[in-house]
Amino acid sequence: MEWVAALLFLAVIVILLAGFPVAFTLGGTALLFAGAGVLGGSFNEALLSSLPNRLFGIMNNETLVAVPLFVFMGVTLERARIAEELLEALAALFGSLRGGLGISVMLVGMLLAASTGIVGATVVTMGLLSLPTMLKHGYSPEISAGTVCASGTLGQIIPPSIVLVMLGDVMTSAYQQAQLDMGIFAPKTVSVGDLFAGALIPGLLLVFLYVLYLLGVALLKPDAMPVYDRGPNERISLAQVLRALLPPLLLIFAVLGSIIRGVATPTEAAGVGGMGALLIALAKRELNLDRLREIMASTMRISSMVFLILIGASIFSLVFRGYGGDDGIRAILESLPGGVVGAVVVVMLVMFLLGFVLDFIEITFVVVPIVGPVLLAMGVDPIWLGIMIAVNLQTSFLTPPFGFALFYLRGVAPASITTAQIYRGAIPFVAIQLLALLLLAAFPQLVTWLPGVIYGS
């Protein structure tokens, strides 16, 4: 009945493209297919009896508790004018360098990504703050739009990232299932900390390549990136730079360092991050009762969306497996020419294309549990696979004409910037992303070396 599983997957994609909510589409479509299968005698209704245990497992998952806490940390820092202060400080610091404002925007995006970990929020925030500033100082619309979009997608890969927390939880389950399928009944585990450590070098590599590109454009096309002309009132002291930089940096190091060193679990570190963000907002006098209500409401909305999608994806994967979809996927991947390399290439291509229509959360909870165990059973390193998926989807979200980051920026960009200019600005950064993917594929040690040094794995 694998063809029914394929039909279920296609039906979900079509209904999502029609604009229906993701969580209800996943769960509702799967239950309709299961009901039709029960009536037709092609689906074992006993499988549905495991749904309550699956949902309780989601509610009882300690790692996923980190998601609302990291969301709270990110939303709080967003409301505390962290990005605005960082941009002002770094723009003044790099002002004398040609292209300095663009580099400042990229570095602020990197710090904001590590602080919030929410791609949409980072793109919108950077679009509202830095895009008008870059245009005002003579930067070309293409360079401005491309820089903002690229810096915003760094939240996908730079830890501590909500994306990596969710991916880490899914990869743990996939890795254990792959080992059980291979007859290993004392399976090894992969943790969120492993993914955080594995993502550090690729994330910094991407930032380095982005900055290198901006310096090249500033050198070859000086008119597109003029020197930031500071006014007499824009002089900044070392104390002001430290005041802007130190709080978010200390918070990032506290959260990320405690996870990587094994001092705290991701959930415990996320709690520390949430409290640290509150203290920063209080210290900057950017927090009052009304703003706190807004932060809590926004956290509740985002967290509810994530967990509803996770519940819907859990129902979908159960029905998909009930129709033998996982066996069909395994047979297809194992029969591809090129063995493991061919299977990885095809999976990456499919995920890249799905990134045009599905958000990272849906792909993480729906697609990774299906293909992950198959690839891991073929001998693929779980940490390397997780980071490759993250960078691949980051590339997809940046690629015209369907990239999510481009849609987010279009929503907040001034009318003077055309959609074509946004697309043209993003294309060089997409090329850089593809180069980074090729480097990670050719040199897996860029991902696996640091986790091996830290955890000895």
pLDDT at 69 (0 to 100): 87
146 close to 428: Cβ distance less than 8 angstroms:
yes
Q: How far apart are the first and last CA of the chain?
A: 40
- The model's pTM: 0.83
Of 435, 421, 319, nearest to 26 by C-alpha is 319
Of 390, 303, 404, 309, nearest to 71 by C-alpha is 303
145 close to 126: Cβ distance less than 8 angstroms:
no
**Residue 108: Cβ-neighbour burial (10 angstroms; 0-12, 13-18, 19+):** buried
**Residue 138: Cβ-neighbour burial (10 angstroms; 0-12, 13-18, 19+):** middle
pLDDT at 448 (0 to 100): 92
User: Residue 337: is the preceding peptide bond cis (ω within 30°)?
Assistant: no
To the nearest 10 degrees (0 to 180), the angle between helices 404-412 and 119-136 is: 50
> From the CB of residue 442, how many other CB atoms can be counted at a distance below 10 Å?
9
* Domain positions in the chain: 2-38+45-455
Maximum CA extent, the chain: 79
Q: What is the pLDDT along the chain (457 residues), one digit of tens a residue?
A: 678 888 988 888 888 778 788 788 888 999 999 999 988 888 888 888 888 887 888 788 787 888 888 888 878 877 777 777 777 777 777 766 788 888 888 888 888 777 665 666 677 777 877 888 888 888 899 999 999 889 888 878 888 777 888 888 888 888 888 888 777 766 777 888 889 899 999 999 999 999 999 999 988 988 888 876 666 666 667 777 788 888 888 888 888 888 888 788 888 888 888 898 899 888 888 788 888 999 899 888 888 887 888 888 888 888 888 888 878 887 888 888 888 899 999 999 988 888 877 777 778 888 888 888 889 888 899 999 999 999 998 898 888 877 778 887 888 888 888 888 989 999 999 999 999 999 999 999 999 999 888 876 5
User: Whole-angstrom Cα distance, residue 78 to residue 119?
Assistant: 12
Sign of CA dihedral 439, 441, 443, 446: positive
Rg of the chain in Å (alpha carbons):
22
Q: Which residues of 381-402 are buried (b: 16+ CB within 10 A; e: fewer)?
A: bbbbbbbbbbbbbbbbbbbbee
Residue 186 DSSP class: S
